[in-house]
Chain A
């Protein structure tokens, strides 16, 4: 459901995606020869159904254009680093540890921040971050489910995580 929701905006669409996916799973079960783990296979079907549906809804650029990601976005804004002086390219102001909450309430608040940040990621990053960090697939499983190379997977994961981190920094501060 989470993966399906990453691609389509409405609850109803996501439900359709999941139903399609289930049918795909059931129809393909006989052909499924355990070449891959069931989980990987299942998520690749959900991903495919969701992409198909999202394309139909015209809410998604074709996936192939997303994996290339021609823009190279820095993980941390250049302004965070010293330009000149004694230590160029070192932290202008070093980050200090986040005061992480113990209380469930604030922990929940952070979860909401992370959830929203993941949802706001570009599609390729979103899918990889969701499969890897939220659903806990391994790197090889994710590559197989999405159909991308290890290197590509790592780039998308790197950029996605950097954006989520930046979102948390808006809440928790850079050097609190």
Chain B
């Protein structure tokens, strides 16, 4: 693999990359770490796929949202909210 002549950090292995992939996605890396991460990605298809998988995980999670909330539950909540408001008659949300 490539030389590390002008690299400050040692070359990254796939096994290490998978452990810092969240730091990368979170933007929690120094620029040197980021450069090393991206240098590895550029030469490693497997890690590129791995990163893409992590993005897929996040994307699917983000689509779960509250579509599953049961209508009956919603009604109950609204009812309890209304009954709480009723006695004082004041709108707590103002």
Seen from chain A, the residues whose Cβ lies within 8 Å of a Cβ on chain B are 1-2, 11, 15, 18-19, 22-23, 26, 29, 74-76, 78, 81, 87-91, 94-98, 100, 110-111, 114-115, 118, 129, 133-136, 139, 150, 154, 157-158, 161-162, 164-165, 168-169
Q: How far is the CA of A6 from the CA of B53 in the complex (A)?
A: 24
B57 to chain A, nearest CB (A): 5
Total A-B contacts with CB atoms under 8 angstroms apart: 114
- Given A75-B18, A89-B15, A19 and B77 contact (CB-CB distance below 8 Å): yes
Q: Report which of A19, A98, A150 forms a contact with B53, defined as CB distance below 8 A.
A: A98
- Given A19-B77, A22-B77, A29-B93, A118 and B56 contact (CB-CB distance below 8 Å): no
Q: Report which of B14, B57, B65 forms a contact with A164, defined as CB distance below 8 A.
A: B57
Residues of chain A within 8 A of B31, CB atoms compared: none
Task: Please list the 6 inter-chain residue pairs (A to B) with the smallest Cβ-Cβ separation, ordered nearest first.
Answer: A94-B46, A133-B61, A158-B22, A89-B13, A89-B15, A91-B46
Residues of chain B within 8 A of A22, CB atoms compared: 77, 80-81, 84
* CB interface residues, B 69-88, toward A, < 8 Å: 69-70, 73, 76-77, 80-81, 84
Are A1 and B52 in contact, CB atoms less than 8 angstroms apart?
A: no
Q: How large is the interface on B (under 10, 10 to 19, 20 to 34, 35 or more residues)?
A: 35 or more
Residues of chain A within 8 A of B76, CB atoms compared: 15
- Given A22-B81, A161-B57, A168-B56, A91 and B64 contact (CB-CB distance below 8 Å): no
Residues of chain B within 8 A of A11, CB atoms compared: 70, 73
A165 to chain B, nearest CB (A): 5
Q: How far is the CA of A88 from the CA of B52 in the complex (A)?
A: 23
Are A97 and B49 in contact, CB atoms less than 8 angstroms apart?
A: yes
Q: Is the interface of A mostly helix, strand, loop or mixed?
A: helix
Residues of chain A within 8 A of B1, CB atoms compared: 87
Are A96 and B65 in contact, CB atoms less than 8 angstroms apart?
A: no
Q: How far is the CA of A139 from the CA of B58 in the complex (A)?
A: 14
Q: How far is the CA of A15 from the CA of B80 in the complex (A)?
A: 11
Are A91 and B14 in contact, CB atoms less than 8 angstroms apart?
A: yes
Residues of chain B within 8 A of A110, CB atoms compared: 60
Q: How far is the CA of A164 from the CA of B45 in the complex (A)?
A: 22
